[in-house]
Structure 1
Amino acid sequence: MVDATDVEEGPELGRGGQGRVTTLRKLMGRPADGVVVKRYNPQVVPNAAALTRLVSWRRSLDVQQRQQLDAVACWPLSVLVERGRAVGTVLPLVPAGFGFWTGTPSGIRRFVLNELQFLVAGRHLLRRRGIPETTTADRLRILATFTEAVALLHGHDVVLGDLSLKNLLWRTGDEGPGIFLLDCDGLRLEGTDPVTPQSNSPSWADPAFPATQNQQSDAYKVALVVLRTLARDFHTHDAGTAGPTAGPELTSLLRSSLRRNPEARPSVSAWTGPLRSRAEAFDQIRKEGAFPA
């Protein structure tokens, strides 16, 4: 645990419904690089035992497992306490490459995180806002990396709970496709309580589990991420809207994963191979000049 009196916070990086995130200048009098602080809003009462459990679980992993986790998830590193009460958590800084600089109409440049919404948005909207576009193959590879990361977490009995347009980051570039999950203090281990009640972002709820979260509801939401990214549609639940971009195999997976019967849904790991294969197919089509990016 880290006492709030041992923390020197810097500028605010962002805020949401549960709290605000600030840079961390010093921790116990020493420079603190690569970490930030999330403080919960006064009306949010975190489950201190659950937050401690997440921190302890990460520390229980071996070196390789911890590196795999840290590469894809903004996992709590320590509990922030104030007068003996949990008030926040220390988190890793978002790695390089998960954002871009853009200009505002007033000429001010600002840094924007590469949130899922910018992977889903159509090219005309992106162009109007000066946001870099991705190719279809890029999007397919990012989705493959995402499903691989969720499968990794599921293999460790982690339940994601909520997925939204803002808590999944992505990148492309020389390092290859990458994803980074935010709000990981909202995740839980199977059979345990969450730090705060796990909610559903609007239009992301699983009809089979409207009032609870589990790995089956995760699988439903992962399918929605794939569908909405391929369809370039923020609200669709219809597998058919992915169109020819998905191809027969991915369309079949979409239909199976969005079924109301959760027992009939494939595991998240079933997505990764077909997504990569589809990306390779689009690479080949693009080389032959037979289809636009």
Structure 2
Amino acid sequence: MPRTAQAYAFGPRTDRAKLGRLGAPIGSPGQCKAVYPLLDHAGMLFKEYRPTQIKEADELRLARLVGLPERLTAADRDLLLRSTCWPRTQVIEGGRTVGVVVPAAPRRYYEALSDPEGGREVVPLLLTHLAMPNSAFPPVGLRVPPLETRLAVCTDLIAIADLFERYGLVYGDWGYKNIFWSQRDSSVYVIDVDACSFGPQPWVESFGFADPFTPANLPVDTYTDRFRCAIAVAACLSGERDPQSAVSGLMALRSTDDRVEHLKTVVRQMATARDRTQRLPISHLQNALSGGKIATGNTSPTTPTDTRSEATPDAMGIVGWEDVEPLPSLGPLIHKSPTRPTSTRPASTQPSATRPSATRPTSPRPRPAQPASKRSPSPHAQRAAARHRRNRRTVIATVTATVVALAVAIPLLIFVL
């Protein structure tokens, strides 16, 4: 069966009554009403939304997501359908969207992990199970991954993130529980992509990937995705999940592989840029992995394409959609910078995995360099500090002179009286 065959098991819209038999609900639905296996369509799941979860704009967004694979090149379509649980069809009931059909993660992304009580449970291998020190792998029954495996996982992850950016998609919910990886072929599988948007989307909390320039209640956009992707890469290579520890751990990693050194340059810029708009496009991570020359000229990266309203129906017959064009192919030039409300997304449709307890190394790791504003004050700040020092000296001198004058004047006044 071709890799993309499952994409066409359904039409763009499917009546709920035609889904066939539903299995017992699985996973942790969260804001979804339930997730059911489709017994008549092996490997497929019906993700049912709560009635208040889907608005008219979401119906349009989901229609565009379902139709996107048809608009991609063969290579991009294969990558998208192979590496994500891309929604295959909108499920309609009473004229309204009530959910989507998504594929379940393939078996290669599951392993039997040991628990503290000595048992074993088959669970998906999360990014959590890669972003941990080597000492934490044997206790949970996993092989210690060599650097080559970590780099291979990063390669697949970056390819998917780059595809999202090229087609104006914002994933937003980068999280250790939303990305699976395989010990068998070092590939990755991204879930909960039915919440992707074309262009910025409402803020979504992403545990372990907090963006200092995208605080709560601000829209999540391509710049946010660039930062979170860089943190994911740093975590996979360093074995650390805290963002600062992940970046500093990557910077401290010693390897003769040129790809590691090139990734350090790009990840550092993406994670510590003082201006979010100076975060490098994800294509630069791909260039670093391919061994391309890393330029350090003062070249500003291309910014994400702005959205615009369509006045006429698009290729899918949708009117009034905020569309974006795919981003142009980007070159290898890199701009080198100095070092320095509750989510509304549908919850995971996959069974949750027990998080293994990992013993952290006791040796301290260097912290990432602080922003330049904390290391070297700006000229404006220096002038303000100088004025403050002059004013303070003036006040001290005035007070001292007054005290001395009173010390002399009071005895004279007493003598005169």
TM-score using structure 1 length: 0.80
Sort the Cα spacing of 1:139 and 1:17 in 2 relative to 1 into closer, same or farther, 3 A. Answer: same
Would you say 1:37 and 2:46 are equivalent positions? yes
CA contact (8 A) 1:208 1:260 kept: no
CA offset at residue 178 of structure 1?
A: 1.2
Deviation at 1:104, TM superposition (A): 4.7
Selected match of 2:209 from 199, 204, 208? 204
Supply the distance in 1 between the matched residues of 2:111 and 2:128 (Cα, whole angstroms).
Answer: 14
> Which residue matches 1:223?
230
Give SS of 1:139's match: helix
Q: Deviations over 1:42-100 (max 9, x none)?
A: 55335222112211223333544422211222111111233333221101221231111
- Aligned partner of 1:289 in structure 2 is none
> How has the CA–CA distance of structure 1 residues 136 and 159 changed in structure 2, closer, same or farther, with 3 Å as cutoff?
same
Counterparts of 1:78-89 in structure 2 under 5 Å? 78-89=89-100
- CA change 1:60–1:271 in 2 (3 A) is closer
Sequence identity (%):
24
* Structure-1 residue corresponding to 2:285: 271
> Counterpart of 1:122?
133
Equivalent of 2:269, from 244, 251, 256? 256
Give me the whole-angstrom Cα distance separating, in 2, the residues matched to 1:202 and 1:149.
Answer: 20
Q: Whose Rg is larger?
A: 2
Give the 5 Å matches for 1:157-176: 157-173=168-184, 176=185
Instruction: Check whether the contact 1:230–1:245 (CA below 8 A) recurs between aligned residues.
Output: no
Residue matched to 1:6? 18
The equivalent position to 2:124 in structure 1, one of 113, 124, 134, is: 113
Unaligned runs of 5+ in 1: 26-30, 278-293
Which range is displaced more, 238-247 or 31-40?
238-247
Sort the Cα spacing of 1:109 and 1:158 in 2 relative to 1 into closer, same or farther, 3 A: same
Instruction: Return the offset for 1:183.
Output: 0.4
Tell me the secondary structure at the aligned position of residue 23 of structure 2: strand
CA deviations on 1:194-237 (whole Å, 9 max, x unpaired) are 6xx45121231322233112211111001110122222222132
Q: In structure 1, how many angstroms separate the alpha carbons of the residues matched to 2:220 and 2:113?
A: 36
| Alignment partners' CA distance in 2, 1:172 and 1:108 | 20
Partner of 1:151 in structure 2? 162
Preserved contact between residue 207 and residue 260 of structure 1 (Cα < 8 Å): no
Aligned-pair CA distance for 1:264: 2.2
| CA distance 1:60–1:157, change in 2 (3 Å) | same
Deviation at 1:105, TM superposition (A): 6.1
Task: Summarize the alignment of residues 45-64 of structure 1 with structure 2, pairs less than 5 Å apart.
Answer: 45=54, 47-61=58-72, 63-64=74-75
CA displacement 1:106-138 (0-9 Å, x = unmatched) = 676532111111010223333323234322220
Which residue does 1:141 correspond to in 2? 152
Q: Secondary structure at the match of 2:108?
A: coil
Superposition RMSD in Å: 2.6
Q: SS in structure 1 opposite 2:244?
A: coil
C-alpha contact (below 8 Å) 2:76/2:163 kept by paired residues = no
Contact 1:141 1:275 in 2 (8 A): no
TM-score by length of 2: 0.58
Cα shift at 1:273: 4.2
**In structure 1, distance between residues paired with 2:283 and 2:73:** 22
Contact 2:69 2:77 in 1 (8 A): yes
Corresponding residue of 1:280: none
Instruction: Measure the CA separation in 2 of the matches of 1:123 and 1:241.
Output: 13
Q: Is the 8 A contact 1:219 1:257 kept in 2?
A: yes
User: Which amino acid in structure 1 is aligned with residue 47 of structure 2?
Assistant: K
| CA 234–78 in structure 1, closer or farther in 2 if over 3 Å, else same | same
Once residues 41 and 131 of structure 1 are traced to their aligned partners in structure 2, the CA distance between those partners, rounded to angstroms, is: 37
Distance in 2 (CA, whole Å) between partners of 1:16 and 1:168 is 17
- Give me the whole-angstrom Cα distance separating, in 2, the residues matched to 1:178 and 1:72: 8
- Counterpart amino acid of residue 286 in structure 2: T
Corresponding position of 2:198? 189
Q: Which runs of 4+ in 1 moved over 6 A?
A: none
User: Between Structure 1 and Structure 2, which shows a larger proportion of strand residues?
Assistant: 1
C-alpha displacement of 1:169: 1.2
